[in-house]
């Protein structure tokens, strides 16, 4: 290898380390530049009826976070009676100006997102970075805090909605028109949502950033799991379901699973949109068989399919308005 080739290779490695949107699929982490100093020292309030508290640092445009949706949905289905999940926004992409020495324009991310989609087996269309690129992840993060000010459960649905918008529908979720549409779809008071977005939600987002900094969080997903005894375990990056389950069992050995129905109708009644990977994880069905079944349900008029160049998502044909 000559000197020019060596320098070129080093530049690529440096760029991959610098840009947080170039997530590492092997480690399952989207990282902000800096040293990894995650602290498991947390003063966490545990509710009386939920013995394990989860603080989930995430970002609406974090592809690795989209990659663990199947695992988190299964964890909630099996152990939702034992866990309380608190969503915190981490601020993955402040803007593009901070990154003058590395990947410095949105189009550089497009191909990477397509590759990450294949790795996680979750549909992501990177063309949003070519067609209507996002300038920052801060606006959708603030929007999530605005949703939380109204209703935590609807806020989770809102985050899911805007993720589907950006990852599958190639929508620029920094725009209020899309954020407002998502808020309306999940049943939020849109006027209050817009008011909070311009006001209190910004302060809450800044508090999340400060907590992330204090906790040493610079990559997503970062999940802190704590019990009433004050013990905290950290799951850093996209990991298999067994990792999440084993950490939960370590913190609360008395954990018992909820044996929920594995039928398609029950699963879709709980989660109205599902990828084939999610359905496979939740139903225990083979991944390829899951996709065949979902397509058969489309043919019989029970589901609708939204296809992208990198996979699809299925939804109930006429879901209730409350998801």
Cα dihedral across residues 85, 274, 77, 27: positive or negative = negative
Judge whether 21 and 112 are in contact, CB under 8 Å. yes
Residue-wise pLDDT tens digits, 43-54: 677 877 899 999
Domain 264-316 has what CATH class? mainly alpha
Residue-wise pLDDT tens digits, 278-322: 999 999 999 999 999 999 999 999 999 999 999 999 999 875 544
How is the chain split into domains, by residue range?
45-259, 264-316
pLDDT of residue 7 exceeding 80: no
For the record, the structure tokens of 201 come out as 């939600």
Domain 45-259 has what CATH class? alpha beta
**Cα dihedral 159, 134, 104, 206 in deg (nearest 10):** -50
pLDDT of residue 125 exceeding 50: yes
Map tokens 């309380």 to a residue: 84
Give the confidence band of 22 by pLDDT, cuts at 50, 70, 90: confident
Would 45-259 and 264-316 be classified into the same CATH topology? no
Residue-wise pLDDT tens digits, 186-201: 999 999 999 999 999 9
pLDDT of residue 17 exceeding 50: no
What is the pTM (predicted TM-score) of this model?
A: 0.90
Furthest CA-CA distance within the chain: 64
Burial 151-180 (b: 16+ CB within 10 A, else e): eeebbbbbbbbbbbbbbbebbbbbeeebbb
Mean pLDDT over 128-135 rounds to: 96
Judge whether 267 and 314 are in contact, CB under 8 Å. no
pLDDT at position 37 is: 65
Map tokens 């069905």 to a residue: 285
Mean pLDDT over 150-166 rounds to: 98
pLDDT at position 218 is: 85
Give the confidence band of 28 by pLDDT, cuts at 50, 70, 90: confident
């Amino acid at each position: 290898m000559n000197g020019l080739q060596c320098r070129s290779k080093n530049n690529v490695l440096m760029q991959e380390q610098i840009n947080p949107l170039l997530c590492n699929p092997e480690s399952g982490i989207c990282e902000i530049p800096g040293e990894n100093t995650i602290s498991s020292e947390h003063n966490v309030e545990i509710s009386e009826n939920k013995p394990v508290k989860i603080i989930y640092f995430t970002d609406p445009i974090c592809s690795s976070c989209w990659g663990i949706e199947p695992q988190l949905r299964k964890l909630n289905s099996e152990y939702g009676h034992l866990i309380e999940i608190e969503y915190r926004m981490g601020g993955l992409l402040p803007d593009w100006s901070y990154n003058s020495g590395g990947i410095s324009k949105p189009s550089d991310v497009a191909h990477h997102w397509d590759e990450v989609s294949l790795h996680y087996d979750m549909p992501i269309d990177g063309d949003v970075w070519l067609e209507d690129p996002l300038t920052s992840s801060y606006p959708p993060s603030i929007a999530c805090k605005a949703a939380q000010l109204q209703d935590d459960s609807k806020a989770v649905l809102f985050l899911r909605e805007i993720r589907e918008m950006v990852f599958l529908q190639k929508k620029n979720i920094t725009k209020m028109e899309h954020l407002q549409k998502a808020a309306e779809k999940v049943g939020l008071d849109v006027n209050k949502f817009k008011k909070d977005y311009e006001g209190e939600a910004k302060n809450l987002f800044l508090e999340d950033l400060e907590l992330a900094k204090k906790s040493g969080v610079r990559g997503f997903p970062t999940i802190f799991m704590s019990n009433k005894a004050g013990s905290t375990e950290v799951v850093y990056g996209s990991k298999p379901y067994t990792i999440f389950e084993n950490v939960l069992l370590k913190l609360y050995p008395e954990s018992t699973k909820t044996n929920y129905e594995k039928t398609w109708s029950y699963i879709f009644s709980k989660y109205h949109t599902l990828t084939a990977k999610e359905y496979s994880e939740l139903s225990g069905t083979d991944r390829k068989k899951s996709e065949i079944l979902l397509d058969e349900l489309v043919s019989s008029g029970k589901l609708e399919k939204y296809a992208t160049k990198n996979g699809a998502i299925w939804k109930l044909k006429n879901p209730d308005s409350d998801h």
